[in-house]
Structure 1
Amino acid sequence: METLQLTKEMSNRIVSEIMNVPDAYLVLDAVQKALDEEQKRRLKFYNDITGEQKVEFINGEIIVHSPAQKQHGRIFFRLGHLLDIYVNREGLGLVGGEKYMVALTRNDYEPDLCYFRKEKADKMTDKQVLFPAPDFIVEILSPSTAARDRGVKFRDYQAHRIEEYWIVDPESHTVEQYHLFGDEYQLILKSAVGDIKSFVIDGFQIPIVAIFDDAENLKAIQNL
């Protein structure tokens, strides 16, 4: 809530400053030209990317990610397996992995995990490569991504009304669960113990430890 308030205050201040200068139209024209140039770079980005790298387009910049650490990869597979088994069994929609490129208004992200409700998933084609805003996203922190996961991505996911956002921390073995209320994310849970229950994926509830431990993960699969 504090992050959103600061963003609104900053936006209002920028608008106020622009409106107080006599050449406001010229300023807006310059901004539009810059956005048009950025869009050209974005289209080139779409043409140049390959499936070998994890890359994102954020505020005009191409971000190439480093190879994932072992603990990051294990968390991805544990949680992804739980999500995929449950969603497929219940016929609830589609779970996507880190190579699903989510195209928002300005930026393109490859979340670690994402989920689309059935009504949205049913409109997708088998050869689709750009995806709309999911209903649920998981990002697994790493030293190189933590600032973006908590910063620009948090704000962008919130602005595009992605209803639920989990941030998984491999170092502290904690999960932060955010749920959208109105226009703002609210922190529902930050814990390394107990269960976590999704607001978006009906009936999906797992022990947090199952995200970080192989034996507990197998137990959770059996109990789904």
Structure 2
Amino acid sequence: MIATGTRRCTVEDYRRLPADDWRYQLIDGEIVLSPSPSFFHQRILMNIIELLAPYVKKKNLGTVMFAPLDFYLDDHNVYQPDIFFVSRAREKIIEEDGLHGAPDFVVEVLSPHNARYDLTSKRAGYARSGVEELWLIAPKAKTIDVFRLQVSAERAAASYSLGENFQSAVFPNLDVSVDGIFAR
């Protein structure tokens, strides 16, 4: 991600950005431009969507989606999580222009352009807003750090590597294979 400008911007400034093909986020009052993700980044996202979407649909749990879609956190923060899930109980937060409230679950795939935001400002913002679970995925290390944000935003509840499986607190009885997430 490349930060643009130096003054603290608001949601209104963000909404005035041009309707172009670039992907912008507002992070702590900074307009941040995200370059196109890598193929492997997108493959990871597809693997997760292919895992979550049928599970969520079969159990009629809510909505699972992927970027770009705005999540309006406050007047100085509008994020575009790579993947998010909104439970039926929270579906009223979904509006035509994005999410106006916290999703239950968020996935962020780290890249050289976004890692510093995802690991700090955005993680704290997700915790503040009420996101229950966050997966921070490191493609190079092939690890998944799972944060239970309402317990601790500072320390991962668990970290998983190749060869391991785990279950999410948000998706009970769904077996998540780390190898499956990183499969090419």
Structure 1 residue runs of 5 or longer lacking an equivalent are 1-34, 215-224
8 A contact 1:92–1:201 mirrored in 2: no
How far apart in 1 are the matches of 2:44 and 2:141?
Answer: 13
1:129 correspondence with 2:100: no
- Structure with greater helix percent: 1
How far apart in 2 are the matches of 1:199 and 1:51?
Answer: 37
- Residue 44 of structure 1 and its aligned partner are, at CA, apart by 3.2
8 A contact 1:93–1:118 mirrored in 2: yes
**Aligned match of 1:10:** none
**Aligned match of 1:205:** 175
- Residue 51 of structure 1 and its aligned partner are, at CA, apart by 6.5
Aligned residue pairs, count: 175
- Residue 99 of structure 1 and its aligned partner are, at CA, apart by 1.1
**Aligned match of 1:120:** 90
Work out which of the residue numbers 44, 47, 58 in structure 2 matches 1:75.
44
Question: How do residues 1-224 of structure 1 correspond to structure 2 at under 5 angstroms?
Answer: 38-39=9-10, 42-50=11-19, 52-105=21-74, 106-121=76-91, 124-125=94-95, 128-131=96-99, 132-182=101-151, 184=153, 186-192=155-161, 193-214=163-184
- Aligned-pair Cα RMSD in Å: 2.0
- Structure with greater strand percent: 2
How far apart in 1 are the matches of 2:37 and 2:109?
Answer: 10
SS in 1 for 2:145: strand
8 A contact 2:143–2:159 mirrored in 1: yes
Structure 2 residue runs of 5 or longer lacking an equivalent are 1-6
How far apart in 2 are the matches of 1:154 and 1:123?
Answer: 20
**1:154-204 residue CA offsets vs partner (Å, 9 max, x unmatched):** 111111121101001110111000113446454222121311211112332
How far apart in 1 are the matches of 2:47 and 2:151?
Answer: 31
The higher relative CO (CA closer than 8 Å, separation ≥ 6) is in 2
**Aligned match of 1:5:** none
**1:112-141 residue CA offsets vs partner (Å, 9 max, x unmatched):** 00111112125635xx11202111100001
- Residue 88 of structure 1 and its aligned partner are, at CA, apart by 1.0
How far apart in 2 are the matches of 1:123 and 1:61?
Answer: 24
Identical counterparts, % of pairs: 24
Q: Which moved further from structure 2: 193-202 or 101-110?
A: 193-202
185 and 99 in structure 1: CA distance in 2 versus 1, 3 angstrom threshold:
same
8 A contact 2:102–2:131 mirrored in 1: yes
- Structure with greater Cα Rg: 1
